[in-house]
Each structure stands twice: as structure tokens, then as C-alpha cells.
Amino acid sequence: MEIRKVQKLGTSSLIVTLPKTWVNRLGIKPGDSVYLVEKERELRIVPFHSEGEFTVVIALEQDNLQDSLKLLRCAMQMGFSNIRIKSKSPISTEVEEAVRSVILSDRDFELNKVDPFTFDVVLVNKLSYEDVGAMIREAISLLEKSFSIILEAVESPVPDLVDKLEKIQELFEQRRLTRKHISRIIEGSRGDLIEERRVCTFISTSYNVCLGLNSIHRALVEVVKRTDPLNLVSTEDAESVRNVLSMFLNITWEIIGGLTNESIKRIESARGMINTLMKQLEEVLSKEMKNRSLRDALLLISNSLHYFDMLLNDIYCYIESKKLELLV
């Protein structure tokens, strides 16, 4: 927060200058319109953007196509909702197909041809703040489904085990929370300083949770693909794995419950469960386990617990921050 002096303009008007960094970041120019939003003792200034405005422009170099496509991917990944691609010469069929292939790789965008020289890339899947909790819960449900398949494979051979896990991984990739979603949601929350920081913390933490779950699942698939058949295990080892996976799922549900419901009690519960499972894993892994797949899977869970334990600090800060008030 900074303090600026109110100045007099003419005989009765009062003015205050806008911060240069803020103006430059949002691309505000002399003559542009802004919204003025009154809220008790506060006055918010919100940039006005017309529907036809395009956030970024990419100069398409058809002779150096790969660099242009890399830049397009970056703009999409960063969450720009409108990207205009312009070429100095008519865009050839081959180049158009190459651009379309990039767009088709991300189902959140669509490509519109404006004229022979111009394409517009538009973000059509604009997730809201409220959608994030549902995405995290869906990610945990997918992991839960995989754990169920793995536990079934421990009991007896499961036909096409790897194929089943890889199909679930495809769902993870299709429905994961990405940086472009984060950018869009944070951009829409600009205004109230505390609320903006809270949204940033919530979204970034949610992203890290989803990233962690996705990484765990991807690693589990690789473990199953490369090592021993899961059903070649002792009864004792099978029971240990069953208990660990069950408790890990309980922890993840508790973490998400704490985050989405802003519950300190559930976060403290999750931390206690993490400590308990860490000790349990330490004991299990200290024993000889002949099946390499199971041992690698348990090591993966153990490492993941440290990751989620660190995230609890961010969640705690997010929940406590609602007590903050701005000094005005």
C-alpha cells in the first residue's frame, strides 16, 4: 500500500494520479475508461476492457514457425484469454494446420480465423474461483480409484492393469488445474488487497495440491510398469500397503476439507495423521519387502507426505488471513 496526495484541478475537482507500475501492467492509456466502484470508505478503480479487446498479439513468422508456435504455447499456458496471431503475408494451409494442432492439444482454447492474415485464439474454459474445490475433489477421487485398482491387483492379477491406470492418468491430465486457470482467476479477483492475496494463496495452494496428486499418480503408473507384478506379495505386506493407501487417502480428504471449508481443526487433524503415517511407513520400510513395486510405491507415498505437510502451512495462512483488516 502507498499514500498519494489528492490534488486540486480547476475550481472544484479533486484528482489523484494512478501508479505507473499498475497502469503499465494493465495497459491503461490516456483516454481509456475505468470503472469507479464505491464501497463504504473505499473507492476501487477497475480497468474497463471491451469484449473486442485482445490481450496479446503474436507476430507469426511463417519462415520461423516453431518459434512462433512456442510463443503461442507460452501465451496459452499463462492464461491469456484472447490471443491474436498476425502474419505479414497470407497464412498458408500448412501453417494453419500447425497452429490448429497446437490449439487442439489444449481443449480450453479454440481457434477462429479472422482473415487470411489473422487468427484469434480464445480461452473458452474460464474456470471460476468456485470451480477449484470441485477440481481438487475430482483429482482425489481419481487417485482413490487407482488405489482401489492397485489393492485389487495385490490380491490377484488384474488384466490390463497398466492400461487401466494409464486411462486414469489421461483423466488427470485432461482435468488438472493449470497455470492458465490460476492466471484467469487471480486476474478476476483484483481489487480489494486482502481478498486478492487470499485468492492468490487459495489458488496457488490448490494448484500445488492438484500437482502433487497428479505427480503421485504418474509416478505410481511408472512404478507398476517397470517393476515386479503386484500380486507376488506376502499377506503381511499386502495388509501394510492397504493400511497405508487408506490412511493416505484420508489425509488428502482432510487437507482438502480444511482448505475448502477454511477449517483449522481439519488442518491440525491432517498434520497429526501425516505424522502418524510417517512413523508407520518408517516401520514398514525398515522391514524386508521382497516386492520392489510395493516398496517403491510406499517410498513414493512417504515422500509425498513431506510435500503435503509443507502445504499445510500455506493453507493455515490462507484460513487465518480472513482475520486481517486493512488500515484506511
Please count the CA atoms within 13 angstroms of the CA of 221 that sit on its side-chain side.
Answer: 19
Cβ contact 227:257 at 8 Å = no
- Is the pLDDT assigned to residue 231 strictly greater than 70? no
User: Cell triple for residue 69?
Assistant: 508456435
Among 1-5, 255-259, 302-306, name the one with the lowest average pLDDT.
1-5
Q: Give the mean model confidence (pLDDT) for residues 296-301.
A: 87
Q: Give the mean model confidence (pLDDT) for residues 148-166.
A: 82
- Is the pLDDT assigned to residue 78 strictly greater than 80? no
Q: How high is the mean pLDDT of the chain?
A: 81
The letter for the amino acid at 318 is Y
Beta strand extents in 78-162 (DSSP E only):
82-87, 109-115, 118-123
pLDDT of residue 325: 67
* Other C-beta atoms lying within 10 Å of the C-beta of residue 154: 22
- State whether residue 311 is helix, strand or coil: helix
The letter for the amino acid at 17 is T
Residues contacting 35, CB < 8 A, separation 6+: 44, 45, 46, 47, 48
More confident residue, 93 or 197: 93
Q: 170, 79, 171: which is closest to 125 by C-alpha? A: 79
More confident residue, 159 or 301: 301
Q: How confident is the model over 183-224, as pLDDT tens digits?
A: 666 666 555 567 777 777 888 888 888 888 888 888 888 877
Inter-residue long-range contacts of 302-307, CB under 8 Å, 24+ positions, other chains counted: 302/278, 304/212, 304/215, 304/216, 304/248, 305/248, 305/251, 305/274, 305/277, 305/278, 305/281, 307/212
Q: Give the mean model confidence (pLDDT) for residues 273-294.
A: 86
Q: How confident is the model over 262-279, as pLDDT tens digits?
A: 999 999 999 999 999 999
- Is the pLDDT assigned to residue 52 strictly greater than 60? no
Q: Nearest 5°: CA angle at 190, between 189 and 191?
A: 115
Q: How confident is the model over 114-136, as pLDDT tens digits?
A: 888 998 888 776 666 667 777 88
Domain 56-123 has what CATH class? Answer: alpha beta
- Is the pLDDT assigned to residue 50 strictly greater than 60? no
Residue 302 phi/psi, 5-degree rounding, is: -60, -45
Q: Nearest 5°: CA angle at 241, between 237 and 247?
A: 145
User: Cell triple for residue 18?
Assistant: 494512478
pLDDT of residue 62: 81
End-to-end Cα spacing for the chain: 10
Helix (H) or strand (E) holding 59: strand 56-60
More confident residue, 41 or 287: 287
Residue 78 phi/psi, 5-degree rounding, is: -80, -5
Give every strand in the sheet of 82-87, ordered side by side.
56-60, 82-87, 118-123, 109-115
Q: What is this structure's pTM?
A: 0.64
pLDDT of residue 51: 46
- Is the pLDDT assigned to residue 88 strictly greater than 70? yes
CATH number of 131-323: 1.20.58.220
Q: How many helices (H) and strands (E) does the chain have?
A: 10, 8
Crossing angle, helix 292-320 and helix 193-226, to 10 degrees? 180
